[in-house]
Structure 1
Amino acid sequence: MFGKSSVNRQVKAEEIIEKPIAQMNALQMYQYCIDNNYGEGMNKKWGVKHFALVEQALQSDEEVLMCFIGLHNYISTTKHDSNFAYALTNKRFIMAQQRVIGQVIQSVYLNNLNDVTLNAGLVFGVLTFDTIKEKFNVCVNKAAAQSICDKIHEILHSLEKSKATPIGEQATSSADEILKYKNLLDMGAITQEEFEQKKKQLLGL
Structure 2
Amino acid sequence: MKKAEEMYAYARNHKLGFNLTPIIGGWLQKKHFKLIEDALGKDEEALVTFIGRHHPEDRENFQQYEGEFAADFRDRVQSSQTNKVRYFSCKGFTAYAVTNSGRLIFARWVPFHNDYKSLPLNNINTINPNTRIIWGSLRIESFREVFSIFWTKRVVFAIAKLLEDSKSDLQDGLMDGITTANRQKVTNPSAPLTTETNYDKLKERKKALEDGLISQEEYDEYKDKFLNH
Band of TM-score, shorter chain: 0.5 to 0.7
State the partner residue of 1:83: 93
2: CA distance, partners of 1:78 / 1:51: 22
Please state how far the C-alpha of 1:91 moved relative to its aligned partner. Answer: 2.6
2: CA distance, partners of 1:79 / 1:45: 23
- The aligned length equals 141
> Which segment drifts farther, 110-119 or 29-38?
110-119
- C-alpha RMSD over aligned residues: 1.6
2: CA distance, partners of 1:52 / 1:139: 21
1: CA distance, partners of 2:123 / 2:165: 18
State the partner residue of 1:37: 15
Q: Structure 1, unaligned stretches of length 5 or more?
A: 1-21, 164-205
2: CA distance, partners of 1:123 / 1:67: 22
State the partner residue of 2:169: 158
What letter is aligned with 1:82?
A: G
State the partner residue of 2:62: none
Which protein has the larger Cα radius of gyration, Structure 1 or Structure 2? Answer: 2
Q: Secondary structure at the match of 1:73?
A: strand
Which runs of at least 4 in structure 1 moved beyond 3 Å after TM superposition? none
CA contact 2:86–2:150 (8 Å) conserved in 1:
no
State the partner residue of 1:127: 138
State the partner residue of 1:193: none
User: Could you say which structure has the higher helix fraction?
Assistant: 2
Please state how far the C-alpha of 1:151 moved relative to its aligned partner. Answer: 1.6
Please state how far the C-alpha of 1:135 moved relative to its aligned partner. Answer: 1.4
Please state how far the C-alpha of 1:77 moved relative to its aligned partner. Answer: 2.6
State the partner residue of 2:3: 25
Correspondence list, 1:1-205, <5 A: 22=1, 24-42=2-20, 43-73=25-55, 75-89=85-99, 90-162=101-173
Q: Structure 2, unaligned stretches of length 5 or more?
A: 57-84, 175-229
TM-score, structure 1 length as denominator? 0.64
Q: Secondary structure at the match of 2:89?
A: coil
Q: Secondary structure at the match of 1:60?
A: coil
2: CA distance, partners of 1:154 / 1:91: 12
Identity %: 28
Please state how far the C-alpha of 1:110 moved relative to its aligned partner. Answer: 2.1
Please list the CA deviations of residues 141-171 of structure 1 after superposition, one character each: whole Å capped at 9, or x if unmatched. Answer: 11111111112211211111128xxxxxxxx
2: CA distance, partners of 1:67 / 1:120: 21
Please state how far the C-alpha of 1:53 moved relative to its aligned partner. Answer: 0.3
Q: Does 1 or 2 have the higher relative contact order (CA < 8 Å, sep 6+)?
A: 2
